[in-house]
Structures are given as structure tokens and as C-alpha cells.
Amino acid sequence: MDFERDLNPAQRQAALTTEGPMLVIAGAGSGKTRTIVYRLAHLVSDGVDPAAILLLTFTRKAAQEMLTRAGMLLAMGPSGVASVSGGTFHAFAFATLRRYHAAAGFPDGFTVLDQADSEDILGQAKDTLGIGKGDRSFPRKSAVLGLLSKARNKELDVGDVLSREAFHLLPYAGDIARIGERYTAFKAENRLLDYDDLLFTLERTLTEHPDLLDYLRQHHRYVMVDEYQDTNRVQARLTRLLAPTSGNVMAVGDDAQSIYAFRGATVDNILDFPELFPGTLVVKLEQNYRSTQPILSLTNAILQNAGRKYDKKLFTTREDGPQPELLRPFSDLTQAAMAAAKIRELSSRYPLHEIAVLFRAGYQSYALEVELGKTGIPFQKFGGLKFSDAAHVKDVLSYLRLVRNTADFPAWSRVLAFVPGIGPKTATKIFNAIQSGDRAVLGKMAAKSQEFRALIEFLDTLRALPPSPAQLLERVIEAYAPLLAEKYPEDYPRRQAGLEQLQQIAAAYADLDAMLADLVLENPDEDRKKTREDHVVLSTVHSAKGLEWSAVLVIDLVDERFPSRHALSRPEDLEEERRLLYVACTRAREHLTLFAPETIYQRQTGGCAPALPSIFLRELPPGTLPERRERLGGGSAAAFAACPPPSAPATAVRSRLTRPAEAPHLTGAPAPRKAPTGKMGYCRHKIFGRGKIIAMLDDGKCRVNFPDFGPKVILADYLEMEDAS
DNA sequence: CAACTACAAATTTTT
DNA sequence: TTTGTAGTTG
């Protein structure tokens, strides 16, 4: 390892400065990971015990990447990797809480809930309280959970969150808050922790137990936090708490890549860092080693229009390379075919796993997945269904969870659902009886149902066995196999194989709790995926963060998809979408193709609606991005006709460049023209913004659906029609 | 009264 | 593709 040769001066400074607080502002592709890894190596070669180094990140991907690369470089093998403490904030919180569970207030341990579990409990709370019954517009439980979690992460109350970003749900604020209280109480009664609880409980435990905190601070002599721009307020406080007495804290981040504000992440954390830790050394990494200049020019142009930004000049020495291009298929369906054709074309130059297709939301790749299946191009998708989310895996794990914690409601309801004659209601009754020790109810159930008796006996046998994950799992799968065949007659063998995979995972664990929590916090499927070669990668932009490919395609770059429909009304949200696009484009090393279909399928109307290219593309200076439209004559990418570059007057160009903070929903949209004429389509309202007319009513009124305010009845005079083009 | 069945509706991003 | 509701059946 040669620090002189392998690192540039800024990187070297970051890697070799080991004492005192440090903030590294690392642009996209600026060798951030390399710098951190070299710093680790430097510390270890200085005689620092790897276990005394704590490495925290927000996402699993980043944690994994970091720890494997550290392991490779330190040439210590897998055991060496394990000896550097670290992982995601959540995983670290879990490990710490588990070790000191008594201090955390859980003498008998606790169970970690994943999203589905939390939703189950929330649904239960909603039913118990009788809230929202028969009300079709009451938000579904996933939305309720999202709101409650957002309120928690942003440390606001539900009303504030609603009034800021879901105006139409404001009347439900009280109900949602009540459901939230019930949910919180339920978790407390049954020693259950959700994702957010892990962080807040760790914070509480550390503040309440100064001795424990002191011990941890002594133990972790060096703390490094990666992707610091994605941390939220608790995570920043945890960083502060855990900071060793020596003050050796390093935070690494890039404000331009902050894409988790929706869950409370705040760039303020980066800005405040030097104040929080006096004497902070700030290092900027500005040389980009990943992309060619044409790609960097585009990404710089995208960032150019950002409302607020921090000065950072990314530069590269890779001057040459193909120009990024914008393709305009007729529709999102032909887009899938175009993208597949593009992949085929690229595959002559790059191995398949060096090609990635990125999109805003998981569902946007469905058409492409079908197309790739048809043409026989293998792919792997990131951000799809998690291994542990599969129903059969959750079923089996539920039995194991009940071995550790009989107060686990989601587990009971899954397990009880297999007993004939028991549905949600009876399951709840039984759960309550178990909780309160009501033998009478249980006895009655047992007398009535042979299957119920068998289940209880089975669970008792499990609980009597030694708590070895592998052995317990074997018993459970044995008992579950017939149920599996019955429940999934069609793809029973595939799921069976999945359970065998689970057995292999279990074999690696000596401790049941650790295994259960890891399945909730980590995703064992993904490391396996990572090593899979010769598959095109399909990924959400969020999941693609920190990764890079030789060729990148970004699809569905039209307004309402990317930027997401939900982000159109609030400027801050729109800015985040812009950074998201920036992250997407900066993943590309050499080749970058953007797709903006001219029409997109709309579920509501069942037809196609014309679509505008993403606002972020429309506001680029003309000529930045060559554009080619699909031709009627043929279906392959080669059939694109080159469009003449748009010839806007030079003055318009300049005004766009110097006017970054234009009201987002007005920028680039066709000028409003006329009042509704009875034709359906999009219109604009002074207060509610852009909306879709869904019905014409009497008295010159119409019903308009506004993406962020819900449907409203409005006098047509107050609306302006938007051109269909 | 609870479970099962059929159907309409809605869908961001992560831990 | 999942989730909630209304109707039907045991």
C-alpha cells in the first residue's frame, strides 16, 4: 500500500490525519471509499486494534461495501473484517441493545419488528380503536406507518407532518396520532421494537447509563460515519454521544447526494458538524475518478439549477468519452423494448454486470423485466421483494420468534392463521388470553379444536429444545412442509428451496436472537446477489447509491414519475428529486442513456397520457443533451431519428442559468391558457397547483384531483387549462 | 358472529 | 401486486 502513489493530496490528508474531529466533503466518485479504507489501514498499521474502530453508515449497501473493501485491503480475510466494529446505525443499535438489554429495560430480551410486522400491529390498533371503519379515504396502514415513522424521524408531531406534506389527510391527524399512541403502547407492553425504536432506545439507554456510555467511548477510540448527509437527528445525536473522549470522529458525506430527507435526514448535520466538534478539520475531495468529462458536464449542469448548493468543482482527467444521450420512445411500453435493445447493443462492449438500469420507484421496471425475460437477457433487481419478506419465510420465522417472545403479536397471527376456523378475530382473542394468562379461553379453544391443541403442543416442544437456530428450524420446517404445499400448490417447490436456503443461513448462527434480528436488519439475499456475474442490474436510484457501472440507463424521466408526482408541490421535495437524478447520472463511468417516453400509461384512465420530459431535463441549456425520437418505421434503438437541437435564443439560455430558484411547478410548463371547456385534462389552480380534471359538474364546477391535496370541487373560473402537449 | 370469497382501488424512496 | 370492503356462507 503506497499512500503517496495511490492517493491525491486531499485524500492523503484525510487518510493520514487520525487525531481530532474531521469532516470530509466527498463529491461523487471522488474516491471516498478508497480514502476511508486507506485510513483504516493506516490506523491498523499504527497498532490500533480494529475492534476499537467503529464504522457507521445509514444503508446496508454502504456498510457492506466498506467492510468488504476494508477486509480485502487489510488482507485479513473474513475474520479480520468482522473485527472492525460497524454496520448500519440500526444494526449497531441492535447489537448494543442486545448486549446490554437489561440496561435498556428488557431483562428478557426483545424482538425487532420489520415493516410488515409494524403494519400488522397498526392494523390491529386501528381495529381496536374502531377508527376509520367504512371510510374509504382513510389512509391504509402502510401509509399510516409511513406518516408515523416520518413524524418520528423528523421529530415533529403528526399534525405538523400532515400540514407540511399531506394536506388532504389533515382531518385525520387526531385519529392517526391515536393509532400511533396505541401502537407505541402495544410495543412497550410486548417488548417489541421497530426500526425507529432501535435508534431512540439506544439513545435513551446511553443517556440513562453514563457508565455504559463511558465504557463505549473508551472502547471505540475511532468513530467514522459514512454518508453523513443521510443521517437524521437521532443519528447525529448518537454520533455525538458515541464520539470518543479523544474527539477522533470522522464524518464523510456529500450534500449534493442527500436523498433521504423523506425520512428525516438533514444536510444540517453536515453543516453543523464543525460547530458540534470544535477544531474540526474540513477536507474536500473534488477530483472525480469515475466518470468521463461529458458525463460530468451533464451532471454539473443538472446541479447548476439547484436552489441551494455548496461550492464543489468536480473535475476529471478523463476528457474523452461518448456524449450522454436522451432517447424519446413513443410510450413507456416501447421504452422497455428500446432499453432492452440498448442493453443488447451495449453488451458487445461491456459485460452485462457492468450495465445498470436505474429508476425512481420499484414498480417502474416491471415492463422492462417482462421484456428482458422475453429476450432472454438475465437481470437482477435491487430494491425488490426482500428474501425475508416472502410469506413462507415469515411463516417459518414466526414459530421461531414465538420461542423467544410469546408476546409477539404478528408472529401469533401468522401461526394461528393456519389453524382452520381461526381468523383474525379469534387470533386476537387468543393472543389476549395468552397475554393475560386467561386459561379459560384457551381451554375452550383447545377443547374445540384438535389443530389448536396440536399447535400449542408443538410450540411447547420447541421451547423445551435447546435454542439452536438450525435444530429448531429443522423441526419447524418439518411441521410446516405440508402447510406450505397446501397454501402454495403452484410454486411450492420454489418456496421449499427458499426454506432450504434459510436452513443454510441458520447453520451459521449459534444464537437465535441474532439470527432473527439479522434477517430483519440485513438482507442475506443481497450479498449473494452481489457476487452474481453477467446479469444486468435493475435498481432504484436509492439502492444504487454508492455503486457504479460502465454503462447506465435511466428510464421514465418524465414529470410525475421522475420527479415523482408526490414531489411536485413542495420546492424542497423537488430539490431532493434533482439530487436523486444527480446520484443516478453520477453512477455512470462511460456511457449514459436517458429515456423520456412521450406518453405514459395511466392506470386511472386505462389509457395513455402525454408526458413532459422531466423538468430537470427541460431546464438544461439547449444542446447539453442530444435528443433522438423513436421513428414510426421501426422498433430498434437504431431507428431513432436525430432531432435538430432546439434553437432557443441565447438570452433565454442565460436567464435560465442565472435563475436557479424558479417556482418549480411553473418552470418549463406550457403557459396557462384557457378555462376548462368540458374537456378532461390537466389544469392549474393558484393554490393547489397542477391537477387532473376527473369530472365536469353543474354550475360551472368541476372535480379536480390534485396530487397532494386530493380531489376537490372547484369553480371552473378559477382554473386554467394546460395544453395537452 | 366469524371466516371465506369476490371485487375494486391504490402504488416512492430505506432501516 | 397487495389491501380493504362488501357480500355470502358456515
CA of A142 to C1' of B10 (A): 11
Residue type, A288: N
pLDDT of residue A310: 62
pLDDT band at A640 (very low <50, low <70, confident <90, very high): very low
Distances from the Cα of A529 to the Cαs of A65, A68, A380, A382, in angstroms? 13, 15, 7, 9
φ/ψ of A92, rounded to 5, equals -65, -45
Distance CA A633, CA A636 (A): 10
Nearest protein residue by Cα to C1' of nucleotide B8: A136
pLDDT reported for residue A204: 97
A123 touches strand C (CB under 7 A): yes
Q: Taking the C1' atom of B15, which residue's CA lies nearest? A: A195
Q: Which of the four pLDDT bands, split at 50, 70 and 90, describes residue A682?
A: low
| Minimum-distance nucleotide, CA of A138 to C1' | C4
Phi and psi at residue A564, to the nearest 5°: -65, 145
Nearest nucleotide, C1' to the C-alpha of A141? C3
pLDDT for res A2? 83
Residues touching nucleic chain B (CB < 7 Å):
A 58-61, 88-91, 115, 142-143, 146, 149, 195-196, 259-260, 262-263, 360-363, 383, 420-427, 521, 523, 540, 542-543, 564, 566-567, 573, 603-604
Cell matching residue A664: 418549480
> What is the pLDDT at residue A226?
92
Q: How far is the CA of A561 from the C1' of C9 (A)?
A: 44
pLDDT (tens digit per residue) in A279-302: 999 999 989 999 999 999 999 899
CATH entry 1.10.486.10 includes domain A387-521:
yes
State the binding site of A: 26-33
Q: pLDDT at position A635, please?
A: 45
A44 vs A355: CA distance, rounded Å: 36
CA distances from A470 to A506, A508, A572, A608 (A): 5, 8, 49, 52
Q: Which has the closest alpha carbon to A312: A302, A320, A301, A300?
A: A300
Using 50, 70 and 90 to split pLDDT, how confident is the model at A675? very low
Kindly report the number of other CB atoms within 10 A of residue A81's CB atom.
19
Per-residue DSSP letter, A287: B
Task: Enumerate residues 6+ apart whose C-beta is below 8 A from A545.
Answer: A59, A61, A62, A227, A257, A259, A583
pLDDT of residue A532: 61
Nearest residue, CA→C1' of C10: A421
Distance A129 CA to C6 C1' (A): 21
Between CA A120 and CA A471 the distance in angstroms is 28
DSSP H stretches of helix in A266-327: 268-276, 293-304
Beta-strand relationship, A549-554 and A355-359: parallel
pLDDT of residue A716: 66
Pick A37 or A587 by higher pLDDT: A587
Q: Are strands A641-642 and A627-629 parallel, antiparallel or unpaired?
A: antiparallel
Burial of A638 (0-12, 13-18, 19+ CB in 10 A): exposed
Q: CB pairs under 8 A, 24+ apart, for A669-677?
A: A669/A612, A669/A722, A670/A722, A670/A723, A670/A725, A672/A720, A672/A721, A672/A722, A673/A720, A673/A721, A673/A722, A673/A723, A674/A720, A674/A721, A675/A716, A675/A717, A675/A719, A675/A720, A675/A721, A676/A702, A676/A716, A676/A719, A676/A721, A677/A721
Determine how many CB atoms are found less than 10 A away from the CB of residue A526: 16
Given pLDDT bands bounded at 50, 70 and 90, which one contains residue A318?
Answer: confident
A214-262 pLDDT per residue, tens: 999 999 999 999 999 999 999 999 999 999 888 899 999 998 899 998 8
CB A147 within 8 A of CB A122: no
Looking across all nucleic acid strands, the nucleotide with the smallest C1' to CA distance from residue A362 is: B12
For residue A674, the 8-state DSSP code is: -
What fold characterizes domain A299-385+530-639?
Answer: Rossmann fold (3.40.50)
CB A535 within 8 A of CB A352: yes
Question: Quick one: which of A615, A538, A618 has its CA closest to A577?
Answer: A615
Q: Measured over all CA atoms, what is the biggest interatomic distance in chain A, rounded to whole angstroms?
A: 85
Average pLDDT of the segment spanning A501-523:
85
Q: Distance between CA A567 and CA A552 in Å, rounded?
A: 24
Q: What percent of chain A has pLDDT over 70?
A: 81
In chain A, what are the domain boundaries? 3-102+198-287, 111-190, 299-385+530-639, 387-521, 682-721
Helices (H) and strands (E) in chain A, counts: 30, 23
Closest CA to A37 of A63, A67, A9, A10: A67
* Residues paired with residue A703 on neighbouring β-strands, in sequence order: A695, A713
Read off the pLDDT band of A379 (50, 70, 90). Answer: confident
The answer to whether the A299-385+530-639 and A387-521 domains have the same CATH topology is no
Average pLDDT, stretch A298-310? 80
Q: How far is CA A303 from the centre of its chain?
A: 22
What's residue A702's pLDDT? 61
DSSP line for A125-169? HHHHHTTTTT-TTSPPHHHHHHHHHHHHHHT--HHHHHHHH-GGG
Q: Is the pLDDT of residue A673 over 50?
A: no
| Helix (H), strand (E), coil (C) string for A511-537 | CHHHHHHHHHHCCHHHHHHHHCCCCEE
Give the bases of strand C that a protein CB approaches within 7 Å: 3-6
CB A564 within 8 A of CB A405: no
Fold of A3-102+198-287: Rossmann fold (3.40.50)
- pLDDT tens for A463-489 read 998 888 999 999 999 888 888 777 776
Q: State the nearest residue by CA to the C1' of B3.
A: A423
Numbered residues of the known binding site of A for ATP: 26-33
Strand C contact at CB of residue A138, distance < 7 A: yes
Q: Which nucleotide minimizes the distance between its C1' and the CA of A366?
A: C1
* DSSP summary character for residue A666: T
Peptide bond into A563 cis (omega under 30): yes
Is the pLDDT at A7 greater than 70, yes or no? yes
- Which nucleotide is at minimal CA–C1' distance from A566? B12
Give whole-number Cα distances, A178 to A132, A163, A169, A428, in Å: 12, 17, 14, 20
B1 nearest neighbour residue (CA to C1')? A425
Q: Are strands A719-721 and A681-685 parallel, antiparallel or unpaired?
A: antiparallel
What cell does A213 get?
456510555
Residue A386's nearest nucleotide, by CA–C1', is B14
The mean pLDDT value of chain A amounts to 82
pLDDT for position A530: 52
A20, pLDDT greater than 90: yes
CA–CA dist A462, A405 (Å, integer)? 12
Amino acid (one-letter) located at A328: R
